[in-house]
Amino acid sequence: MHEVDMTKCLLLSMTEWRQLHAPHTPRVNRVHLQVGAFTCVEPAQLVTTWLVAVRGSWLEGAELVIEAVPLVGRCVRCNATYSPDPEQAYRSPCCDQSMEEIVSGRELRIRSVDYVLPDAISSAAGSPAPTSQASASPRETAPSHAPFATAPAL
Ligand SMILES: [Zn+2]
C-alpha cells in the first residue's frame, strides 16, 4: 500500500510539473527518483506500481529510474558519520549513541525529469508524436534534463 500512495504522490507532482509547460504536453522519457533506505519503499515494487499507474496516461512509456540513497547517521557525541545497522538498533558503532541525526536516507524526491517538448502541432493529448520523428528533428525538440524542485509530500 505504501508504494501505491507514493505513486499517487508522484503522479500529482508530475501533473503539476506538466502544467509548467502548458499548453504543451512534455513527452517524458525518464523520471529520476531518489529513494532513501530509511523510507521503507521497496524500489522494485514502486517501479511496478508506477508502470501500472501510467498505463494509458500522458506518462505512458516514462521509465522510473530509482537512485537508492543509503542511510547515514551522525554520531551525536563525536560527530562522525556511520552506517546505522538495524541489528544494533541504529546505534553509532564509535560511541554507542542512539541515532538522533540522519544525514541521508529519508529522501523521497524527484531529482530530475528527462523529457522532450513537442511543438504545438503534435502536442494534442492522446496522439503522441512518433519517437523517430521527434528525435530526428533537433529544431523542434530539445532534450532536457531539468532539475525538479517539487518533492512529493509524504
Ligand atoms: Zn561517535
> Running along the chain, 154 residues long, what does each successive block of 10 average in pLDDT?
87 96 94 94 93 96 96 97 96 97 94 86 44 38 52 47
Q: What pLDDT does 2 receive?
A: 83
Gap from CA of 86 to ligand 1 centroid (Å): 17
Gap from CA of 40 to ligand 1 centroid (Å): 26
Q: What pLDDT does 88 receive?
A: 95
CB proximity list for 112: less than 8 A, separation 6 or greater: 32, 145, 146, 147, 148
Gap from CA of 71 to ligand 1 centroid (Å): 16
Identify the helix (H) or strand (E) that includes residue 144: strand 144-147
Gap from CA of 33 to ligand 1 centroid (Å): 31
* Exposure b/e, 102-137, CB count within 10 A at least 16 = b: eebbebbbbebbbbbbbeeebbeeeebbeeeebeee
Gap from CA of 21 to ligand 1 centroid (Å): 48
Gap from CA of 127 to ligand 1 centroid (Å): 58
Q: What pLDDT does 119 receive?
A: 67
